[in-house]
Amino acid sequence: MAADLERLRQEICRREEELSELKQRLADMEKKSVEDASDGTEPKTIHNGNQKLTNDQIGRYSRQLILPELGVKGQVKLLSSKVLIVGAGGLGCPAAIYLAAAGVGKIGIVDYDEVEISNLHRQILHTEHRVGVSKAESVAISCRNLNSSLNFITHKVQLSSDNAMSIIRDYDIVLDATDNVATRYLLNDACVLAGKPLVSGSALRFEGQLTVYNHKGGPCYRCLYPKPPPPETVTNCSDGGVLGVVPGIIGCYQALEAIKIAADIGTPLNQRLMLFDAIDCTTRTIKLRGRQVLCPVCGDNPSMTQLIDYEQFCGARATDKDQEKKVLPASSRMTAKEYQTLLENGIEHVLLDVRLPVEMEICHLPHPALNIPINTVKKDPSALVEQIKRQLASSGIPLDTSPVVVVCRRGNDSQLAVQLLHDSNLNIRDIRGGLHAWARDVDSLFPVY
């Protein structure tokens, strides 16, 4: 049954890709036949008295063509413009679909990653049966379904110092729809070196930020933030959470800014930073300082004339995926299976869960737990040690023999907690890999978030 389901999913996926390819071929041939016709005796565009747009294009874009600000002139510019979207996620999806709808002639999508089920609440161009498919490809398929007349290029690579310049070179405008600090500095520097405007969006929890860097005398990312933040102060969507519509709104704004720049209309958001707060539905726009003459990359005498090692510069990997930390020695850790044995043997212990209460509500281990979030542990570890000792004493259990077991979602915060509570006389260990390991190695029905 499960194998049948999987087979069917793969089949749907395969055919969808096939269909997408056929549509691209059809679009290419249609385009070619129009071009061929205009070389011959009966140009398809002659009847509308407009040499610049085909009848199909006039029909499709009519509702925006009649905007005086855009008009035929603006639409022609859009059709001949080339926009690169870096990141096919929560920001990239809405941005891509609106750029495709508006008729941006060439749309490039960079993403090395594959679709996961936990992406779908915000990465709205992917689908359930495309789980496991390339995100860049998935975005291209969805956009092609909306507008097959455009040219979609997928770059299924991780943007790096080695490939960034050659990828960006072919485009006029770049959208930063990435999810990590290192790639943001890389993209900024590459856009400055290549002389391209960078429409930057970001989102976390209920907040979004939007600006246009390196455009019309405005600053670049480094002009505002010369130093990368300490890695431990950076929260990603996986740990901090994000309401899907928030990157959705910011991604739409990114498409809007890119369209304005491409069509050369309106006032772009250069040298201004828009802050969006979804929980109160407020926006603020901050007037920024201009390009800094002393900026190492966009200044008058830049010290950086080529791309550097951004993971080293930021002290963090160029991904938003959580890395497994190794803080504790093996002797201070136990496996999920070992904890299962401890439970089965009925060994008295204190279970300390250092996740947030909201996470406890999602799922928790079968043994009653003391729930103290890691940030509370950090504030006053010695008070917690006393609390644990009292709890052990009230159960009449000797301190040194009975274990204190610390658990969290992935086994990173639990290590920090063990370290913080270390100087006591407690026999304290954490569960390696946290609840993810519990679900993987002990209880396959345990939910994973």
Partner 1 sequence: MDRVKVKLLFFAKSREIVGKKEADFEFASCTTSVSILEKLIEEYPELSVIAENVVLSLNEEYLELDNQELTLQAGDELAIIPPISGG
Residues 276 to 295 in contact with Zn ion, rule: CB under 5 A: 295
> How far apart (Å, rounded) are the C-alpha atoms in residues 101 and 285?
27
| Least distance from Zn ion to the Cβ atom of residue 228, Å | 14
Residue 118 known to bind ligand: yes
Q: Which one of 16-24, 25-33, 269-277, 347-355 is the stretch in contact with partner 1 (CB under 8 A)? A: 269-277
The residues facing 406 across adjacent strands are 352, 430
Position among 8, 29, 286, 383 found at the interface with partner 1 (CB under 8 A): 286
Scan residues 74-133 and list those touching partner 1 (CB under 8 A): 87, 89-92
Which of 31, 52, 225, 327 binds partner 1 (CB under 8 A)? It is 225
Is 119 annotated to bind a ligand? Reply is yes
- Residue that the structure tokens 């040298």 belong to: 271
Q: Is position 363 annotated in a ligand binding site?
A: no
235 binds partner 1 (CB under 8 A): yes
β-bridge mates for residue 270, sequence order: 212
Judged by beta carbon, residue 292 or residue 376, the one nearer Zn ion is 292
Task: Output the smallest distance, CB 433 to partner 1, in A.
Answer: 24
The three-state secondary structure class of 201 is strand
Residue whose C-alpha is closest to residue 158's, from 142, 139, 135, 174: 135
DSSP-based three-state secondary structure for 449:
coil
Report how far residue 34's alpha carbon sits from residue 332's, in angstroms, rounded to the nearest whole number.
71
What strand order describes the sheet that includes 333-334?
Answer: 333-334, 427-431, 403-407, 350-353, 369-371
Helix 434-441 vs helix 336-344: crossing angle, to nearest 10: 70
Sign of CA dihedral 27, 33, 39, 45: negative
Catalytic residue at 237?
yes
The region of 54-62, 236-244, 390-398, 414-422 touching partner 1 under the rule CB under 8 A is 236-244
Q: Which C-beta is closer to partner 1: that of 77 or that of 409?
A: 409
Work out which of 229, 266, 366, 368 binds partner 1, going by CB under 8 A: 229
Closer CB to partner 1, 289 or 325, in the complex = 289
CA 290 from centre of chain:
28
- On whether 179 is known to bind a ligand per the annotation, the reply is yes
Nearer to partner 1, 24 or 236 (CB): 236
Distance CA 2, CA 110 (A): 33
Residue closer to Zn ion, measured from CB, 83 or 295: 295
CB 209 within 8 A of CB 284: no
Buried b (16+ CB within 10 A) or exposed e, 414-429: bbbbbebbeebebebb
Token pair belonging to 440: 């993987």
Residues within window 243-262 making contact with partner 1, judged by CB under 8 A: 247, 250
Task: Based on the shown chain and the rule CB under 8 A, indicate whether residue 208 belongs to the binding site for partner 1.
Answer: yes
User: Which residue is it, tokens 């060439």?
Assistant: 106
State the binding partner of 135 from Zn ion, partner 1, none, CB within 5 to 8 A by kind.
Answer: none
Span interacting with partner 1, options 20-28, 200-208, 362-370, 381-389, rule CB under 8 A: 200-208
**Residue 295 interacts with, from Zn ion, partner 1, none (CB under 5-8 Å by kind):** Zn ion
Given 93, 143, 237, 314, which residue is catalytic? 237
Supply 109's token pair: 């999508």
Q: Is 176 annotated as a binding residue?
A: no
Annotated binding site for ATP: 90, 111, 118-122, 135, 179-180
Residues that bind Zn ion (CB under 5 A): 220, 222-223, 295, 298
Q: Please identify every residue annotated as catalytic.
A: 237, 408
Annotated binding site: 90, 111, 118-122, 135, 179-180, 220, 223, 295, 298
